[in-house]
Structure 1
Amino acid sequence: MDMRQDGETPSIESRASWVIATTAVIILSVSFGAPLIVIVGLRDIAETLGEARALPAVAVSLAYLGAGAGGVLMGWIAGRSSARLVTLIGGSMVCGGLLLASEGSAWQLMLGYGLLVGLLGNGALYPPMMAYVSLWFDRRRGTALALVSSGQYVAGALWPALFERAIAAFGWQRTMAGFGLFVAVAVLPLAALVLRQPPAPPMGGGTAAGPLAEAPVLGLPPNLALALLSVASFLCCIPMAMPAAHLVAFCGDLGIAGQRGALMLSVLLVAAFLARQAWGWLSDRIGGLNALLAGNICQTVGMAAFLATQDEAGLFLVSAAFGLGFSGIVPAYVLAVRELFPAREAAWRVPVLLFLSLSGMAAGAWLAGALYDGFGNYAVAWQAGIACNLAALALLGGLALRRRGFSPASVP
């Protein structure tokens, strides 16, 4: 622990804090490879099962929704046991889910991904891990959360090309089973050897302990404040998911080759990964709520730019700008929860918020497709995304204005 001089509040951060954060990134970059196998092998899986491509696509959606819902349950368990135990459970479930899904029937794919990979697997890894890592930091918490949440982007950059080659050489079933065993070998030893109880907050409170329990939050009942923040996260994650899920198809509608569209998506994700670290640094200096306002304004501008841009070069630029803008939003929500609520409540409040965030992303991907089917183009979808972003900005702006009159632990 870093003990400050001259009357400063002692910090809980240490070298061990960054070891924990780095371990969390590695674990998430491995576990979030599991849904990518289905995305890369979509055509092969559909042909093996004799089903439409919608079936394996639903398995992916169930995995992401399950990760959000499972985070609430597993976060509650982590708060009453340990992050190590929950991570061991999660890694084992991801491995078991991939082994089950690799058996090759539709029900095994759905059960393996929806229940094991999603609900009990990544649900035990992503939301609880974000809450757990936040307990190791006080001064650079936003930077740490941005780093840990980048595990999904690392997975997106690392695994698809490897999966494509493995599926071509060995088939999707062997690839899925092999990766399941790799998850067990990579995640379980790391969890057992590295993860341990977080440091206790310093005597006298401070930023590590957070506000007092049961005190009003921004002059509101704590659960109401969390509900408003969670609804805002749902709304702003709807447009966040739209370009990521439909950019390649959008390019195809404009006559841009699929390879160029895929490259454009990679540009978006790489820009998001790089910018997320900068957003974390900024969040530590201006606070979670202010970072959310800035990120959502950038995301709204990015969605409007997709409406106004039709040529390939312009879309590459817009994609990069959109990635730069939206990437800091989800970590800033977690930071806002840790700033506004007591540390001992993070184990369940962070997963609840992330459940709404992940649900918003699932809803955004579906909504863009549904609006395209109804109107024959993506313009209405982008407009709907902008409307959701403006609604989120209204909620966040209201909370930010209330913060000017209420400290996190003040009584109205």
Structure 2
Amino acid sequence: MKNNKKILLLVMTLILLVAMPLVATSIYDSSTDLYKQTAEPFEGTSVRSMGMGGAGIGITGYYDSFLLNPANLGAGNLKISLPAVTLTVFNPNAILKSGAIDDLQSGDENATISAAQKFLGTIGTDYGDVMTTDLSMVLGLGSFGFGLQAQERLMSYKTGADTTSTNLIAQVTVAATAGLGFRIQAIPEYLSIDLGVSGKFIYKMFLQAQSASTITDMLADDNADPADTYLNGTPIVAGYAFPVDFGVNLNMPLGFTASAVLKNYNGAYSMSTYQSINNWSEEVLGSAIAGETADSSSFTSEDFTIDAGWQLNAGLTWAPKIGSLLKPIFAFDVVDITSLADLSGDELKTGIYENARLGASLRILSIVDLRYGLRSGYQSFGVGLDLLIFHLDAAYYIQEYGAQLGDKPIDAVSLRFSLLSR
């Protein structure tokens, strides 16, 4: 029985680490590096864009086009995506090479312990992501677009080489986006201008960072009720923001489009700390999720803001019309242009290289999309399949998490399934 309890403890530890951290280890401190990734502007996972190196702010005709650039609503397309589910796993190569999956498939109880250790060993130092899950519903009716998104993101921050230095932060974000766009025919049949604006209501909440040891200690305590600890012993940080995006497309002859997007204007989050999930639920929703709420008289709530600032992106898209059988698209974007303003010489060249996004896609028979991209020199590959009302998108790509290119590239695989429009 003792050995079985140890095995069960390790299995539960692995599951909780992958799915959702449970026990807080410290009060939120915005002056530390630990929570740096939680301040990033919310962006739902676009598998299509990731397969094209992150490029495509000027590409119209897809369910997420107006989410990347509200000016794309000027094209007046009808798009309905109900619903869409996206799963992203990071470090897939390292996980496969570690042998963790083989250990799990073996069915041996002792192998489960080895699988957990190998999986944790794939998480590198400094910042990273472990996995994300996205749910979305999008409706595009001519010049109007509306989208609902929810994302669970499990982030990592590791201070050393040992697995005990791994900190995991679970974040849940929900967003409602409404956009409006229209087209101005400047020179009929030669030049048109698309203008668009979108506003979002975003609510973000994340549990405080924890390590595997805190979960193990909690589960090892026979006198502790995990459910009670989860609801009443897990401090969280939660808050909201109302960012606005502005976009413009200049549509030119031969299928060329020049685009510019101002992202995350007024994107500051008003955040508050809560003693537990139950306390948050009682204060925000009016009632506790389950059981009695813990006494919060000794807990001092903190209010603060998180602001990543606004960002200006620009791009050039070429969608030549060569027939109905093949539909190619080429896109070149440069993100966060303002960060390049004070650079010159070699630093400017490096900055442009790091911020550049280059992508291409080829649609065949309106059934298959083949995609390729370059992001800061890292390659990406993607494919999209349209099967009646079912749509599947997949992408393999690499993102840089280090301070400099090459410091910490992390690969990822994203799969998206949806109904109706692509």
Interval of TM-score (by shorter of Structure 1 and Structure 2): under 0.3
TM-score, scaled relative to structure 1:
0.26
- Higher RCO by CA contacts (8 Å cutoff, separation 6 or greater): 1
Q: Say which structure is richer in strand.
A: 2
Bigger-Rg structure (1/2): 2
TM-score, normalised to structure 2, is: 0.26
Determine which structure has the larger helix proportion and give its number: 1
